[in-house]
Copies of this chain bind each other. A is one copy, B any other.
Amino acid sequence: MARDLSVQIGSLTLKNPIIAASGCFGYGLEYAGSLDVSALGGVASKGLFLKEREGHPPPRIVETPSGMLNAIGLQGIGVHRYVAEKLPELRRLGVTNIVNICGTTLDEYCEVARVLSDHEGVAALELNISCPNIKEGGIQFGCSLTGTYDVVSAVRKVTTLPIIPKLTPNVTDVASFARASEEGGADAVSLVNTFLAMAIDVETRTPKLSNMLGGLSGPAIRPIAVRMVYECHQAVKLPIIGMGGIQSATDVIEFLIAGASAVQVGTANFVDPFIWTKLTDGLADYMDRHGIGRVSEITGSLRKNT
């Protein structure tokens, strides 16, 4: 059967809908020695500020039931070293780079976007306005509707690259943030970032993370993330990149049915760095079994119970 795994996110074409999630795949090159990174639908880079950042002291992660908390604190090399040290090799490998960008001010987002727009090899910008574990990680934008609108429309003015604000789940009505993104001129939205959470060592009565608060990811959050993708799909026309706890092809398909056009996989990559072919094979198999020719036919195809 003719079956096509490629998907369209605005003007961006991905060879398949399965993307490595930001902060969970380094800059992509870390994995290039062990697997073919260009075979992924895309790689969302570790979040980049204008400058280098040290991040939080360890412990930075703690495991929780079917999930994990992280408070990495956006350690990173900054956008200038990224374009100098990482991008050329990523281009050479043919990786579809979705660069995750952060800022403490509107100007910083715009400046990072400008630098990236000046270089070949960037496929899209994912605006991280939702990192829960640093105060200046954009969450001040991501938890306010006007803040979201402002950052999206500001970045819109400085780049022709597709822009994809990444929404936080730590809000009452995520769909309204998708709407604000749409109005601001976004090409797509991605969701969810992690859930603000904490864990305490009861013997010492101290937080298990040096930063006290961290972001919950992994299979634990999947049912909430699926619901949020569904709500956004009802609310906006924008393509949606869904994520949160995906660890199998079935999970990928669940997000697609709920309304996602593509998905990202984060925590599951830690457990199984070779998960990618399993996911695309499983999706292809599903499409064959159900006589589906294009991934977009699955997107938003939820039937109501009778």
Q: Could you list which residues of chain A lie within 8 angstroms of chain B, going by C-beta atoms?
A: 64-67, 69, 143, 170-172, 195-200, 202, 204-207, 210, 212-214, 216, 218-224, 226-227, 230, 245, 250, 253-254, 257-258, 286, 301-305
A-B contact pairs, 18 of them (CB 8 A): A65-B219, A195-B224, A197-B223, A197-B227, A198-B223, A198-B226, A198-B227, A198-B230, A199-B254, A200-B254, A202-B250, A202-B257, A204-B303, A205-B257, A205-B303, A212-B304, A213-B227, A216-B223
Q: Distance (Å) between the CB of A214 and the closest chain B CB?
A: 8
Once the chains bind, are A303 and B224 in contact (CB under 8 Å)? no
CA distance A206 to B205 in the complex (A): 45
* Residues of chain B lying within 8 A (CB to CB) of residue A202: 250, 253-254, 257, 286
CB within 8 A of A245: which of B65, B171, B200, B286? Answer: B65
* Residues of chain B lying within 8 A (CB to CB) of residue A205: 257, 301-303
Q: Which residue of B lies closest to A197 (CB)?
A: B223
Q: Distance (Å) between the CB of A205 and the closest chain B CB?
A: 5
